Amino acid sequence: MKKNVKVEIPVKVTKVLEKNSKKNGKEEVTEEKDAKVSVTIQRDTDGDDDPDVTDKDDDNDGIPDEVEKANGTDPKNANNLTAKVSDPTKVTEKTQVPSTLPKVVTPNKDGSTITTESPVNGLSVDKDGKLTGTPSVPNWGSDEELKVNIPVKVKNGDEEIRVEVPVIIQRDTDGDGDPDVTDKDDDNDGISDEEEKEKNGTDPKSCYNTNSCGNKYYT
């Protein structure tokens, strides 16, 4: 798939000169010369006046070329099966994904089926292209967020593609629905994280320091 085509246009250049003649004095003499004009034509698949060499969506189907290549679809064919994947969605650990969240996968063809063969950290994408499940992370270490990719299969007739849906899981130590990145008392022991770290020298993510575990996630 060439992005540029170089062509040469044959032209004839005509030049009129004045020359002195002993017999007739000044007279006009016409000179002709064959030449070629080189032109580079830049491909523009979707005709939007932005050539493919700079256009990030050659076929104007709403799916960036790089994404199409990664999905194994033709970035110059707007009629092949594609699926638009949302930017990374943030969800809170231990809290069921709200049904009000917008779709994370949107196929370009009606009647397409969407399936998740293996959930990732408790998350999957349903037949309607929406994120479902309750995110869980077995071992956080010192991280506050974890980015995961959910492999999703989209099928329509004989066409089949696979896409990856990015999701950011936010840690929620006490499971109160307020992720640690915004929760001022991560372990819900009644002592603020700031006080635990700066004054007491205790772990703000463990209520066992203070024997005040009152949340269902501490047993």
Q: Which pLDDT score is estimated for 208?
A: 61
Q: Which pLDDT score is estimated for 203?
A: 79
Question: pLDDT by residue (tens digit) across 175-215?
Answer: 999 999 999 988 888 888 788 887 777 878 876 655 555 55
- In angstroms, the CA 89 to CA 108 distance is 21
Cβ contacts of residue 195 below 8 Å, gap of 6+?
Answer: none
CA atoms within 13 A on the CB side of 29: 9
Q: Which pLDDT score is estimated for 1?
A: 53
Mean pLDDT of 24-43: 87
Tokens standing for residue 84: 């638009």
Question: pLDDT by residue (tens digit) across 52-96?
Answer: 999 999 999 888 999 888 878 889 888 889 999 999 999 999 999
Tokens standing for residue 203: 């772990």
Q: How many CB atoms within 10 Å of residue 179?
A: 21
- The share of the chain scoring above pLDDT 70, in percent, equals 90
- Which residue has tokens 């034509």? 41
Q: Which pLDDT score is estimated for 179?
A: 93
- Which residue has tokens 């066409």? 159
Nearest partner of 109 among 71, 130, 83, judged by Cα? 83
Question: pLDDT by residue (tens digit) across 123-167?
Answer: 999 999 999 999 999 999 889 999 999 999 999 999 999 999 999
Q: Which pLDDT score is estimated for 202?
A: 81
3-class secondary structure per residue, 53-93 = CCCCCCCCCCCCHHHHHHHCCCCCCCCCCCEEECCCEEEEC
Q: Which pLDDT score is estimated for 218?
A: 47
What percent of the chain is helix, strand and coil (3-state, nearest 5)?
10, 35, 55
Q: Which pLDDT score is estimated for 127?
A: 97
Q: How many CB atoms within 10 Å of residue 98?
A: 10
- Evaluate the CA torsion angle 203, 206, 212, 215 in order and state its sign: positive
With 70 as the cut, is the pLDDT of residue 45 above it? yes
- In angstroms, the CA 117 to CA 155 distance is 13
Q: Which pLDDT score is estimated for 27?
A: 78
Q: Which pLDDT score is estimated for 146?
A: 97
